[in-house]
Structure 1
Amino acid sequence: MDTRFDELLDFPTFQTFKVMGVADEKLASQVIACLQEHAPGDYAPSVKPSAKGNYHSVSVSVRVTSKEHMETIYTELAKIELVRVVL
Structure 2
Amino acid sequence: MKTKLEELLKFPCSFTYKVIGLAKPELVDQLIKVIQLRIPGDYIPQIKSSNKGTYISISITVFANNFEQIENLYYDISKINMVRMVL
Shorter-chain TM-score range: over 0.9
Aligned partner of 2:61 in structure 1 is 61
Aligned partner of 2:36 in structure 1 is 36
Q: Is the 8 A contact 1:6 1:66 kept in 2?
A: no
**TM-score, structure 2 length as denominator?**
0.93
CA RMSD of superposed structures (Å): 1.1
How many residue pairs were aligned?
86
Aligned partner of 2:77 in structure 1 is 77
* % same residue: 43
The answer for unaligned runs of 5 or more in structure 2 is none
| Superimposed CA distance per residue, residues 19-72 of structure 1 (whole angstroms, 9 cap, x where no aligned partner) | 100010101111000000011000011111011110001111100111111000
The answer for unaligned runs of 5 or more in structure 1 is none
Which amino acid counterpart does residue 56 of structure 1 have in structure 2?
I
Counterparts of 2:8 and 2:17, CA distance in 1? 16
Instruction: Give structure 1 regions of 4+ aligned residues with deviation exceeding 4 angstroms.
Output: none
Aligned partner of 1:45 in structure 2 is 45
